[in-house]
């Protein structure tokens, strides 16, 4: 009737916690954002919690973590959002207040654009350019 342990991992050090580099945390967070991947699966794979990965994703969006070049160079697709209300607006109201050029790509946004969306758009443009 013995129930045994199939896998045991001993983490050494005074705190008994894993120490991951910023590059490892950024790579794990970026992997969790890939299409068709769940945060729970990634957490299980790397022996961490979902909440830790959500925190790393937040740090990645804020620029506190940087995705390694090996991951950033992988092909990815940017989300496309179509706003039908802009088609009905007068031409003067559709003028962009912000224009960002990344390589051959121009990103135009209004003054009230969300910083997180702009950062994702810039990263997608950089990834597409390389």
For the chain, 130 residues long, give each residue's pLDDT as a single digit of tens. Answer: 566 656 656 555 555 567 888 888 998 998 888 878 899 999 999 989 999 999 999 998 888 888 767 666 666 666 666 666 655 555 554 555 777 777 777 788 877 777 888 888 888 777 766 6
Integer Rg of the chain from CA: 20
The answer to whether 119 touches 71, Cβ cutoff 8 Å, is no
């Amino acid at each position: 009737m013995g129930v045994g342990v199939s896998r045991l991992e001993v983490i050494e050090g005074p705190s008994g916690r894993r120490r991951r580099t910023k590059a490892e945390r950024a790579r794990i967070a970026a992997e969790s954002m890939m299409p068709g991947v769940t945060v729970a699966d990634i957490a299980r794979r790397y022996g961490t919690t979902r909440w830790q990965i959500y925190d790393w994703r937040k740090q990645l969006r804020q620029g506190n973590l940087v995705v390694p070049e090996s991951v950033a160079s992988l092909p990815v697709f940017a989300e496309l959002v179509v706003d039908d209300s802009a088609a009905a607006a007068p031409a003067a109201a559709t003028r962009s207040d912000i224009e960002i050029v990344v390589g051959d790509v121009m990103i135009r946004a209004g003054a009230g654009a969300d910083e997180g969306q702009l950062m994702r758009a810039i990263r997608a443009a950089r990834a597409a350019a390389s």
